[in-house]
Structure 1
Amino acid sequence: MARISAAERRRDFINAAVDVIAIYGIDGATTRRIAEHAQANLAMLHYCYDSKEDLFADVYKFVAGRFSDVVKDSDPHTTLADTAGQLLRGVMQCYLESANFTAATLELISWARRQHEDRGIAVYDEAIETVRDALRGAASEQPVDRETIDQIAYIIGTLSDGFALSWLTYGDRSAAMAQMDVVASVLESWLAARLGSAPVTV
């Protein structure tokens, strides 16, 4: 049997932690449960991670990385409006692909706020800033002011978060796919109105 590297094991534990957090919440996400879900023994988990906090730090990085991947997968050669639409659909698709990822993401951010820690805020801030960067790149062909970029990023975050909550609450994939079109149309309508009067940068 091929030996599994420590890096591969860490990935297994991160994925398992996401699932366990989604099912049991942060407080119920014990290292024993995570190890069992990863089909590994507890000693291996403690070999890869000095503490539960170290593992959770990697889980936060994983969540932030998923949002960064959405931006990387967007087409950089489109208009600002098209880029915004791609980003919104990409984030919603990311949520739709895994209810556990959705539940764990919301739980991690809420838990961090309850603990007065900034990790949850940092993940959210990093995701929004990544979206801003992509929008700024698209705006090079259609320059708009910073406030408009911030507003578009905020709306993408707000609409995708609302979609995530609805998807997580009802768990109806076919309904969620139809709702993606509705949510995207809300952004499109706002963009059509806003960009038509957006101040141009000088």
Structure 2
Amino acid sequence: MKAPVGVILAGGQATRMGGGDKGLLTLGGQSLLDRVMERISPQVSDLCLNANGDAGRFDVGLPVVADSLAGFPGPLAGVLAGMDWAAAQGAETLVSVAADTPFLPCDLVPRLQLAAEGQALPLVLAATLGDTETRSSKGRVIRHPTFGLWPVALRDDLRAALEEGLKKVVLWTERHDGRECVFPDDAAFFNVNTPDDLAQAEAML
């Protein structure tokens, strides 16, 4: 399977951080977005940024693609924007990552591709196992729906589902026999949602 193109999802409203762009927050002297780019860029053949509003606020050397659907319908709208951009590049698959996850796996793409072997349309979400010390999540697979391998061929199907009001990523992936790829390190998908999370990320560095 050839290398997919990638999209960094930064189209949310960051309400728990008080608004603004989480990806532009600084962690250890670098923006979260720069850290994400460093990790995902070597794994994909091309890369874009999904964000809404004035694209000029991002000076990162990436094409910026906005949601094609109004009203901030969620991460799937960002995936769709990435799929539309990928289609214009002639790509068959897209990998999505979140802009607020500075420790994402450096082997994300090969693992997702391995999990997709045998699928006619590669569709895989990243997942981790719940903390065995926490009764509420013991032994439970926790999916990370902003991290996935997506077939560009299904973009019109996804567009129709979103226009019908679909919000939950997993409902759509299960409809198309999506799989999960379980990663061993839950910390790799740590995302910065609040000021306390940012402080925790500093400690994790």
* Normalised-by-shorter TM-score class: under 0.3
Task: Kindly indicate which of the two structures has a greater share of residues assigned to strand.
Answer: 2
TM-score, normalized by length of structure 2?
0.25
RCO (CA 8 Å, sep 6+): is it higher in 1 or 2? 2
TM-score, normalized by length of structure 1?
0.25
Q: Which has the larger radius of gyration?
A: 1
